[in-house]
Structure 1
Amino acid sequence: MTAAWTEHVLWWQVYPLGFVGAEIRPESPTSEVTHRLDRIVGWLDHVIELGLNGLQLGPVFASTSHGYDTVDHFTVDPRLGDGDDLDRLLAEARARGIRVLLDGVFNHVSRAHPWFADVEARGPESEYADRFRIDWDDAPGWHPGDAVPAQVFEGHDALVVLNHDSEAVRDHVVEIMSHWLDRGIDGWRLDAAYAVPASFWAAVLPRVRERHPEAWFSGEVIHGVGGDFVVESTIDSLTQYELWQGIWHSLSDRNLFELAHAVERGNELLQHSIPSTFIGNHDVTRIASAVGAELVPHAAAVLFTVAGVPSVYAGDEYAHLGVKEARLGGDDAVRPEFPSTPPAPGELPPEAAAVLRAHEQLVAVRRRHPWLHSAHTDVVELQNEWIVLRTATGSGAVVTALNPSAEPRRLPVGGPHVPIAGEATTEGDDLIIPPGGWLVAEPAE
């Protein structure tokens, strides 16, 4: 049974190393601690002011570069600070009623991880040799200094894949998860969950839940994984990349049929779990760069009015720009450094202020209608350049309409409605949406 608090949580996602201005690719590893995590504390009131109540942190554990090449899951990355700094961040979040989710990278580790360093030194005789996927037949007569024929993650030679059939690996992950849940976090984002056998999660997560029954686990899946994986793995939620793609493709191409398909597909997924939904994260081009700042509110309107556990990637509420590129350092533009405190409202350019205002309106809608968490959405009207969605349960209904076209649209919505976000005029039972407009409305009482 998924913890009840997840019905109300709305995440603000941060990539810590970039956010605090840490060097992502240092020339040489260092153990010197630089206390930077407090810079995130300076933004917690902004999270509350947005109406959000969750902080989803990217990697915070010791690593060699970008955080997903872990060397020690029990130590805070010295570029961020130390354990006391993380404890202070957790305490400050807890004092504000903010839940905290940590990023668990359990598919692979860095080549510099002590386990693998021992394997490189001792080969098959290492006590850790069976904790990795290694085919020693590919290296007959292996000697120290020879390459270890280990499986790596998606061609990244620096990321060696763990052997998820190993009982020692399972025990280790249970210990890691339990340790940080004991310290006060609320759950885990499971990085590259799709690459890990469902049987591994099914063996690990119930053991963690025995000690922490309220913990929540969200698995990163990219494509081709659905309800069966949820059932077999016992993971609570999966990332909804189909919705993300349907939103930005439809808006950028002015073809909303793809969004309609993604919404209908999302209804099918609700049979098994409530997905983790987003319009931006640390791995993709910023939504404002993908669709234009003027259409970010349209994307956010869908995010907050369809089923799911939504997250806002830090900076998207200000229409930050950033394009992901397929090269070394190609993620840097979408993982920038932030100032130590949020900008004052009067400091924002008009486009950023408009996007922030739209986020505030839409988060408020979600707060007033918590049943949206698991409600089905129907496509009421659909053309290439406009769409009307209706999300409803026995508890209520909202209509979400997007009009990215250059023409005003008269949208029949089946009875008198009152706009509660966005802008429109009413004429009888119809809503008139201006060119490039959007709105969320609810039935008039």
Structure 2
Amino acid sequence: MMSVSTPNWVKDAIFYQIFPDRFARDEYDQSAGPAGMSVHFQPWNSPPTPHGFQGGNLAGIEQRLDYLSALGINAIYLNPIFASAANHRYIAHDFFEVDPLLGGNAAFDRFLTAAHNNNIRVILDGVFNHCSRGFFQFHHILEGGPHSPYLDWFHILGWPLNPYSAEGPLNYEAWWDIGSLPKFNTNTPAVREFLWSVGTYWLEKGIDGWRLDVPDEINDDEFWREFRRRCKAVNPDAYIVAELWKPAQRWLQGDQFDAQMNYLFTRAVLGYAIGRKLDQSRTTPMGYGRIKVRDGKSFADELNTLFNKMYHPEIVFAQLNMLGSHDTPRIMTLANEDTATVKLAYLCQMTVPGAPNIYYGDEIGLCGGRDPECRVTFPWDEENSWNLSLREEVQRLVALRHRLAALRRGTFEIIHADKALAVYARHYGDERVVVALNGTNKDAAFTVPSSVKPDLGEEPVGLAAGERLRAGDKVIIPARSGRVWSSEVA
């Protein structure tokens, strides 16, 4: 059997995902000179649009590192930052240059140093399946036609190319047939070397890993094996996490990716915490698809599958567990703006195996539907609009995870499940933690099984009442809430 190894630091990580154009803006940053000093940004906090820019930059993120540290964040996942003509920057025209609107390479160097000085690691979004129409080799083809020496960098199907016209076929392969996203031909050795060199270049610059965009669309395991080999040669602790929405055993055997963005977990939480109140019209048109409504027993079974059956334990501990992302409606919107539901979801996220990932602004209750609504700006100047109760609970849960090693590294065991409740235990050395979740609208109770040893004290999260947990006791879990007990409480 192949040995499986993932970066040890990820087990202790709390990630915060940032969409750079929308998180924070330093209006006075001149890192990239005049190119970064545009005066044509949309006003901050104006409704997000598919093509509009609101001017978030790396200097702005750097100024908010204290906010992230106070929340308990020790890792950042940045959506794409390379030079691009799109606000999402998933269509790069230069993979070695940070977008001037974000401050360019100088601003990134300063940001990365500041983040590391705050003990915050940084992973970048790697988009290696496709590029933009402005990418040099593709632009060369547009200008030189069939005479360009770069034809084999892409999948050219015929002439003329139609990169901007809706009339006639594109005549080249593009992601989802979107003309602005020409697909690389990764069968070409020069393309493979180019993409691998991007991976190693930024690791040599000091980043801590890669989140890989649609890696399954490069249907070539050996490409990703070599990507891993080269990246790990530069930094053996580099984290490689893939955007894979479905079971991913093919890629998670220890020779390609360390983990996936765990949308399987997200779906399970949505199906349990929101259940029949979930507006499926918001989920079926995008990656979530139709969400299975789950009671406590079904939810517990799914968690047991995800954390004990599907993958090697090292992969499980490295999974990126999310409640939403830049590609999904926000959790507060899906939860029908019910704070108790979102708190319950966070309680689960922070107490299961894998690295939690908080999508920027979710901790203050930002709302938003599908793209572009989920990419709103962070309302720094409107703190009165923040859901402070939610933020305080998230902060409390993050601190709890940092304090209890069992939540980060412990085994996972379902110890009780019924129509209402899902109750699980985490064990690490002598440390024990029990978590009980109630996703229903009524109080529910369970009898503590004999396997719960020793006597545990209640942690102050959610609606904690300070009771002790002993085998044989009957314990009540209030409606739409959860409770946590640990051996660390005196």
Q: Establish whether TM, by shorter chain, passes 0.5.
A: yes
Distance 1:125 1:437, change over 3 A: same
Shift of 1:280: 1.7
Shift of 1:25: 5.4
Shift of 1:103: 0.6
Gaps of 5+ in 2: 26-40, 43-48, 163-167, 277-293
Residue 300 of structure 2 is matched in structure 1 by 260
Residue 285 of structure 1 is matched in structure 2 by 329
Residue type at the aligned position of 1:205:
R
The alignment partner of 2:182 has SS state of strand
**Is 1:337 the equivalent of 2:383?**
no
Distance in 1 (alpha carbons) for counterparts of 2:208 and 2:486: 33
Whether the 8 Å contact between 1:419 and 1:439 is mirrored in structure 2 is yes
**Is 1:14 the equivalent of 2:14?**
no
Correspondences of 1:19-418 after superposition (within 5 Å): 19-20=23-24, 36-65=57-86, 66-134=88-156, 136=157, 139=158, 142=159, 149-196=171-218, 197-226=220-249, 228-231=250-253, 233-253=255-275, 255-256=294-295, 257-267=297-307, 268-271=309-312, 273=315, 274-291=318-335, 292-324=338-370, 331-339=371-379, 343=383, 347=384, 352-414=387-449, 415=452, 416-418=455-457
Distance in 2 (alpha carbons) for counterparts of 1:401 and 1:242: 21
Shift of 1:152: 1.5
Shift of 1:365: 1.8
The alignment partner of 2:180 has SS state of strand
Distance 1:154 1:391, change over 3 A: farther
Whether the 8 Å contact between 2:161 and 2:170 is mirrored in structure 1 is no
Flag the structure with higher strand content: 1
| TM-score, length-scaled by structure 2 | 0.80
Whether the 8 Å contact between 2:405 and 2:428 is mirrored in structure 1 is no
| TM-score, length-scaled by structure 1 | 0.87
The alignment partner of 1:441 has SS state of strand
Whether the 8 Å contact between 1:174 and 1:205 is mirrored in structure 2 is no
C-alpha RMSD over aligned residues: 2.6
Whether the 8 Å contact between 1:190 and 1:218 is mirrored in structure 2 is yes
Shift of 1:144: 7.2
Residue type at the aligned position of 2:357:
S
Whether the 8 Å contact between 2:323 and 2:358 is mirrored in structure 1 is yes
Residue type at the aligned position of 1:418:
G
Distance in 2 (alpha carbons) for counterparts of 1:79 and 1:216: 27
Whether the 8 Å contact between 1:133 and 1:161 is mirrored in structure 2 is yes
Residue type at the aligned position of 2:232:
R
Residue 479 of structure 2 is matched in structure 1 by 435
Residue type at the aligned position of 1:247:
V
Residue type at the aligned position of 2:235:
H
Alpha-carbon deviations, 1:59-99, whole Å to 9, x = none? 11111212111111111122222111111211211111110
Whether the 8 Å contact between 1:121 and 1:144 is mirrored in structure 2 is no
Whether the 8 Å contact between 1:417 and 1:442 is mirrored in structure 2 is yes
Distance 1:387 1:69, change over 3 A: same
Residue 31 of structure 2 is matched in structure 1 by none
Residue type at the aligned position of 1:108:
H
Gaps of 5+ in 1: 325-330
Residue type at the aligned position of 1:323:
G
Residue type at the aligned position of 1:289:
T
Aligned residues: 423
Whether the 8 Å contact between 1:199 and 1:232 is mirrored in structure 2 is no
Shift of 1:246: 0.4
Whether the 8 Å contact between 1:219 and 1:235 is mirrored in structure 2 is yes
Distance in 1 (alpha carbons) for counterparts of 2:150 and 2:326: 32
Whether the 8 Å contact between 1:189 and 1:217 is mirrored in structure 2 is yes
The alignment partner of 1:390 has SS state of strand
